[in-house]
Amino acid sequence: MKDTLEIIILLLSGVALVLLIIVLIEFRKTIQKLIEFLAKTEQTIIPIIDDMNAAVRNIKEITEDVDGAVGDLRSVTTAVKGLAGQVQEASDMIGQTILKTRSSIHGVKAGFSAALGLLGKNLFKKGDTGYDGE
């Protein structure tokens, strides 16, 4: 009976050993497939990472260009504000000049009217020239 038990144990050990070998072979195949998958993934990911790095560089350049454009726009805005102030000053000066010119024109008109009135009055006056002769 002892011999039979030893034979059964030996047979079970052999079956367990064969099963272990089969499992190890399958495990090795799985590891190989995993290594191949990781290699393919790496080959796929590297160009994507390079593209992402290029995109980040492009975004950085665009940001710098936008910063420069904003600075230029600020300069233009400042120049336009200065020009607007100068135009306003010129407009005020022109307005004052027009007002003074209108006042002068009204004064000249009044002077001409008065002179023509006196001239007409003196021309139509009989006998009196307004000159004493002395």
- Look up the domain containing 75 and give its range: 1-87
Q: Under a CB-based contact definition with an 8 Å cutoff, are residues 122 and 130 in contact?
A: yes
Does 26 map to a domain?
Answer: yes
Does 98 map to a domain?
Answer: no
Does 124 map to a domain?
Answer: no
Does 120 map to a domain?
Answer: no
Q: With DSSP H G I counted as helix, E B as strand and the rest as coil, what are the percentages for the chain, rounded to 5?
A: 90, 0, 10
Total domain count for the chain? 1
* pLDDT, position 117: 81
Q: Distance (Å, rounded) from C-alpha 8 to C-alpha 91?
A: 118
* pLDDT, position 3: 87
Q: Distance (Å, rounded) from C-alpha 33 to C-alpha 29?
A: 6
pLDDT means per 10 residues, the chain with 134 residues, are 88 94 95 94 90 93 90 89 90 89 85 82 66 52
* pLDDT, position 1: 75
pTM of the full structure: 0.44
* pLDDT, position 22: 96
Does 115 map to a domain?
Answer: no
